[in-house]
């Protein structure tokens, strides 16, 4: 299988200089591309001067993560796309276990490796950890990360298993599946578009896997910190988008209402923490959702909806009331 490692870049010359060496060293057999979202910092000139073997796709504008990859991948031919953040350090033989799984598990259409924290290498990293899930209300969490609690990597997730979503920080996807799904939803701009993509893939009969024998280290927060109100806005709004688009009507509408109530409680919590900008971010997320509800509803998939999409009823209740902070306690396989 022909694999293309594709890095999306926007004004990330310093990140490319820091992280490209590991990608170049440990990605034997893969074609490497950088899709540039109209950078103005000299990124493209840097690549041409120092990495002439890397393919460069220059987008005409910065359309964010979703549109950036959608536009860029139209110009790249491969059997498998690896969508790799520009702030990821890869490890020796990181590609081998992934490709072995694709070859041995034909139903696997999307795969992610183990995502560890570059600044604390014995811990999982927030964006993906050991594979993603959602609860009944659509709140995302991971094996190895529930809300802001990050587990130490002690080999507890050194396995291969089906998960609900794979992180966009390092996502492998068969190119025909990506094109079949028409790529990412560009209305998301950034954040949680990978959850929507995986949800649509599962509705279409594909499977998402985690391979714990492949590891990468993610810096995280290079574009938006977890503490940035814009990230709060995008996460809350886009999560509502995904529920609206990917569940049967009889389930989606009651859950949207329940989520609006729960989001209101989250906003109130931000008030008590004196994080007023995050409270207003949730308000803006809801207003944006209302404005775009009809558009999202009309995007609903024609495929059969999967009914069992969650592995926990409420991580909000489990985490904040029962203080469950470990995936293996929350979810009993």
What confidence tier does 190 reach under pLDDT thresholds 50, 70, 90?
A: confident
Claim to verify: residue 163 and residue 298 sit in the same structural domain:
no
- Can you give the pLDDT at residue 222? 54
Claim to verify: residue 93 and residue 129 sit in the same structural domain:
yes
Mean pLDDT calculated for residue range 45-64: 97
Claim to verify: residue 85 and residue 175 sit in the same structural domain:
yes
Instruction: Give the number of domains in the chain.
Output: 2
- Can you give the pLDDT at residue 302? 67
Q: Could you give the CA distance from residue 319 to residue 17 in angstroms, rounded to a whole number?
A: 39
Residue 247 lies in a domain: yes
Q: Write the CATH number for 73.
A: 3.90.550.10
| 148-169: pLDDT as tens digits | 999 999 999 999 999 999 999 9
Claim to verify: residue 107 and residue 152 sit in the same structural domain:
yes
Residue 108 lies in a domain: yes
Beta 80-84 vs 55-59: how paired, if at all?
unpaired
Domain boundary (162, 186, 218) is at 218
**Its pTM surpasses 0.85:** yes
Q: Could you give the CA distance from residue 297 to residue 7 in angstroms, rounded to a whole number?
A: 31
Residue 332 lies in a domain: no
Grouping H, G, I as helix, E, B as strand and the rest as coil, residue 121 is: strand
Claim to verify: residue 21 and residue 104 sit in the same structural domain:
yes
Residue 321 lies in a domain: no
Mean pLDDT calculated for residue range 104-133: 97
Claim to verify: residue 137 and residue 108 sit in the same structural domain:
yes
Claim to verify: residue 94 and residue 174 sit in the same structural domain:
yes
Residue 115 lies in a domain: yes
Mean pLDDT calculated for residue range 243-250: 93
**What DSSP assignment string belongs to 218-235?**
E---SSS-TT-HHHHHHH
What confidence tier does 226 reach under pLDDT thresholds 50, 70, 90?
A: low
Residue 300 and residue 245 in contact, taking contact as beta carbons nearer than 8 Å: yes
Residue 291 lies in a domain: yes
Claim to verify: residue 260 and residue 192 sit in the same structural domain:
no
Residue 319 lies in a domain: no
Q: Could you give the CA distance from residue 257 to residue 252 in angstroms, rounded to a whole number?
A: 9
| 276-331: pLDDT as tens digits | 999 999 999 999 999 999 999 999 876 678 878 999 999 999 999 999 999 999 99
Q: Could you give the CA distance from residue 243 to residue 300 in angstroms, rounded to a whole number?
A: 10
- Can you give the pLDDT at residue 224? 56
Residue 271 and residue 225 in contact, taking contact as beta carbons nearer than 8 Å: no
Claim to verify: residue 42 and residue 158 sit in the same structural domain:
yes
Claim to verify: residue 156 and residue 250 sit in the same structural domain:
no
User: In the beta sheet, which residues pair with residue 133?
Assistant: 141
Claim to verify: residue 237 and residue 210 sit in the same structural domain:
no
Q: Could you give the CA distance from residue 82 to residue 69 in angstroms, rounded to a whole number?
A: 11
Domain boundary (160, 189, 218) is at 218
Domain boundary (218, 240, 268) is at 218
Domain span at residue 154?
A: 3-218
Claim to verify: residue 159 and residue 21 sit in the same structural domain:
yes
Residue 118 lies in a domain: yes
């Amino acid at each position: 299988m022909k694999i293309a490692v594709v890095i999306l870049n926007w004004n990330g010359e310093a990140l490319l200089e820091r992280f490209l060496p590991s990608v170049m060293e440990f990605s034997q057999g893969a074609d490497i591309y950088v899709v540039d979202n109209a950078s103005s910092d000299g990124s493209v000139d840097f690549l041409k001067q120092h990495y002439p073997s890397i393919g460069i796709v220059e987008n005409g504008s910065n359309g964010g993560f979703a549109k950036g990859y959608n536009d860029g991948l139209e110009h790249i031919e491969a059997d498998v796309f690896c969508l790799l953040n520009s702030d990821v350090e890869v490890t020796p033989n990181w590609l081998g276990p992934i490709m072995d799984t694709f070859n041995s598990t034909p139903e696997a259409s999307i795969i992610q490796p183990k995502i560890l924290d570059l600044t604390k290498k014995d811990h999982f990293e927030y964006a993906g950890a050991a594979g993603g899930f959602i609860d009944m209300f659509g709140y995302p969490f991971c094996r190895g990360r529930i809300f802001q609690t990050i587990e130490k990597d002690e080999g507890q997730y050194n396995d291969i298993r089906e998960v609900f979503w794979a992180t966009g920080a390092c996502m492998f996807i068969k190119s025909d599946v990506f094109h079949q799904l028409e790529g990412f939803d560009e209305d998301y701009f950034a954040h949680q578009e990978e959850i929507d993509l995986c949800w649509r893939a599962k509705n279409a009969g594909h499977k998402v896997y985690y391979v714990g024998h492949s590891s990468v280290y993610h810096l995280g927060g290079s574009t938006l910190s977890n503490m940035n109100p814009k990230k709060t806005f995008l996460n809350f709004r886009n999560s509502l988008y995904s529920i609206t688009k990917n569940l049967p009507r009889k389930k989606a509408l009651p859950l949207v209402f329940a989520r609006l109530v729960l989001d209101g409680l989250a906003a109130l919590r931000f008030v008590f923490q004196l994080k007023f900008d995050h409270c207003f971010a949730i308000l803006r997320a809801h207003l944006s959702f209302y404005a775009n509800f009809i558009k999202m509803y009309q995007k609903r998939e024609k495929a059969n909806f999967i009914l069992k999409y969650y592995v926990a009823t409420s991580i909000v209740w489990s985490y904040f009331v029962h203080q469950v902070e470990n995936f293996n306690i929350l979810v009993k396989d």
